[in-house]
């Protein structure tokens, strides 16, 4: 992690939990202690966001796992950026690999969602990452640059401070197969160089690029020690007290 970028750790709970288990998570998060030099954001299922926001220490952010690209209307089953803000939350995850690959969201739709969420003052965790067959075909860079382009096209120059990019190789998500620190660092470094070329040097230097995919208490320090890895987006381990250790990876 480079010193000018604040370390960022997100907990993506995905479609897990109930009030009883969430109470347990809130308890260990509020007890911490969490490194004050790390920005922490957790993302509960939409139905529990307001409950979590009401009980969680205010210094921990709460994120939606997804939201649609307009304020309101006939979009059964969806929620808007405005609703996330209305209940006092300030972040949203967009373009997660499960939204892309289970629910069929396109680069274009994700770009439109990023644009709308930012326009409403939400901060965005924008996710990208290649599938195993793409990596094996030598297409990792092509894929992540294409996914990044759809994001870059929808972020105004003054909005970059409200964006965190999460590089989550699909083959590492929920599989226990973490990218090695060297594999992750290589992609992060290439992404940062790409951003420098396509957006600007200052944005590339300040943009936080975090890694996701089987991050654990055991591997978080080595991953977080890489110069272009600015934190993590954690799935399974964010439901467990281990998450506190992951938040504190740079201590």
Summarize as ranges the residues that interact with ligand 13P (CB under 6 A).
12, 96, 168, 173-174, 212-215, 233-237
Kindly tell me which of 169 and 203 has the beta carbon lying closer to ligand 13P: 169
Residue nearest to ligand 13P (CB): 235
Tell me whether residue 168 is one of the annotated catalytic residues: yes
Catalytic residue among 130, 134, 168, 188: 168
Contacts of residue 248, Cβ cutoff 8 Å, sequence gap at least 6:
33, 34, 35, 38
CB of 176 to ligand 13P, least distance (A): 8
DSSP alpha helices (H): ranges in the chain? 19-31, 49-55, 81-86, 97-101, 107-119, 132-136, 140-152, 181-198, 201-206, 220-224, 242-247
Paired with 12 in beta bridges are: 43
User: In terms of C-beta distances under 8 Å and separation of at least 24 residues, what long-range contacts does 139-146 make, across chains too?
Assistant: 140/169, 140/187, 141/187, 141/190, 144/187, 144/190, 144/191, 145/194, 146/107
- DSSP bridge partners of 209: 165
Nearer to ligand 13P, 203 or 220 (CB): 220
Closer residue to ligand 13P, CB minimum distance, 135 or 203 = 135
Query: Any catalytic annotation for residue 188?
Result: no
Q: Smaller CB distance to ligand 13P: residue 128 or 215?
A: 215
Q: Name the catalytic one among 96, 98, 134, 188.
A: 96
Spatial separation of the C-alpha atoms in residues 24 and 13, rounded to whole Å = 13
Closest CB 10 distance from ligand 13P, rounded Å: 7
- The distance of closest approach from Cβ of residue 73 to ligand 13P in the complex, given in angstroms and rounded to an integer, is 28
How far apart are CB 144 and ligand 13P at their closest, in Å? 15
Catalytic residue numbers, as ranges: 96, 168
């Amino acid at each position: 992690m480079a010193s000018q970028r604040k370390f960022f750790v997100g907990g993506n709970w995905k479609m897990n939990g109930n009030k009883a288990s969430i109470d347990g998570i809130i308890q260990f998060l509020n007890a911490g202690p969490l490194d004050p030099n790390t920005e922490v954001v957790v993302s509960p299922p939409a139905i529990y966001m307001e409950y979590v926001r009401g009980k969680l220490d205010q210094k921990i952010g709460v994120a939606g796992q997804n939201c649609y690209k307009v304020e309101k209307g006939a979009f059964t089953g969806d929620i808007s950026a405005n609703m996330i803000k209305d209940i006092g939350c300030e972040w949203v995850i967009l373009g997660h690999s499960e939204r892309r690959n289970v629910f069929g969201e396109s680069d274009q739709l994700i770009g439109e969602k990023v644009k709308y969420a930012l326009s409403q003052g939400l901060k965005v965790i924008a996710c990208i990452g290649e599938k195993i067959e793409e990596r094996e075909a030598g297409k990792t860079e092509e894929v992540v640059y294409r996914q990044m382009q759809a994001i870059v096209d929808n972020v105004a120059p003054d909005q970059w401070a409200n964006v965190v990019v999460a590089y989550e190789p699909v083959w590492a998500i929920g599989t226990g197969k973490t990218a090695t620190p060297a594999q992750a660092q290589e992609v992060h470094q290439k992404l940062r160089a790409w951003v420098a070329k396509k957006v600007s040097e200052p944005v590339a230097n300040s943009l936080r690029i975090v890694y996701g995919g089987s991050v654990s208490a055991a591997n978080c320090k080595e991953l977080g020690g890489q110069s272009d890895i600015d934190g993590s987006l954690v799935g399974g381990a964010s439901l467990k007290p281990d998450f506190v250790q992951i938040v504190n990876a740079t201590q």
